[in-house]
Amino acid sequence: MASKLAAECIFCKIIRGEIPSFKIHETAHSFAFFDIGPLSEGHALVIPKHHAEKMHELPDEFLADAMPVAKKIALALGADNYNILQNNGRLAHQEVPHVHFHVIPKPNEEEGLT
C-alpha cells in the first residue's frame, strides 16, 4: 500500500527525478527544492526521502535530518526573517500528502514588500 502511494505521490516523483524541480540541496534523508507557487522570493520546501503523509508518521531519522536542511537554506538565502511551516491533514491546509517543511522568507521592509 505504501509503495503504491509513493509511486503516485508528486513529491516522491520529484525525489526520483520523474517530475522536474529546482533542487536546492540534498542529503541521504532529505531533498530541498523551490516551491512552484512561492509565497515570497526563495520559498523552499524540505521533504524527507521517505513517503509519509503526516509528520507523526515519519521515522525519527528523517524528521531529525529535515531541520538542519531548513537551517542551511535560511542561512544560504540570508533570510533573517522567515517562517517554517508544516501542515498536517486537509483541515490544516495540507495539499500534498507527503510531509514537507516550508521555508518562507519574509522580504525586507526596505524592498517595499511586507
100 is catalytic: yes
Q: Closest separation between CB of residue 60 and ligand 5GP, Å?
A: 21
Question: What is the size of the binding site for Zn ion (CB under 5 A)?
Answer: 5
Taking CB under 5 A as the criterion, which residues in 18-57 touch Zn ion? 51
Between 18 and 57, how does the x/- string for binding to ligand 5GP read (CB under 6 A)? Answer: -x-x-----------xxxxx--------------------
d(CA 35, CA 52): 19
Strands 30-34 and 23-26: antiparallel
Q: For residue 54, what are the contacts with CB-CB under 8 A and spacing of at least 6?
A: 88, 89, 94, 99
- Hunting for cell 500500500 — which residue is that? 1
Closest residue to bound Zn ion by CB: 9
The span of 48-56, 59-67, 69-77, 88-96 binding ligand 5GP (CB under 6 A) equals 88-96
Answer for which of 95, 109, 110, 111 binds ligand 5GP (CB under 6 A) is: 95
Strands 82-85 and 44-48: unpaired
For residue 13, give the C-alpha cell: 516523483
d(CA 39, CA 42): 9
The binding site for ligand 5GP (CB under 6 A) comprises 10, 19, 21, 33-37, 87, 93-96
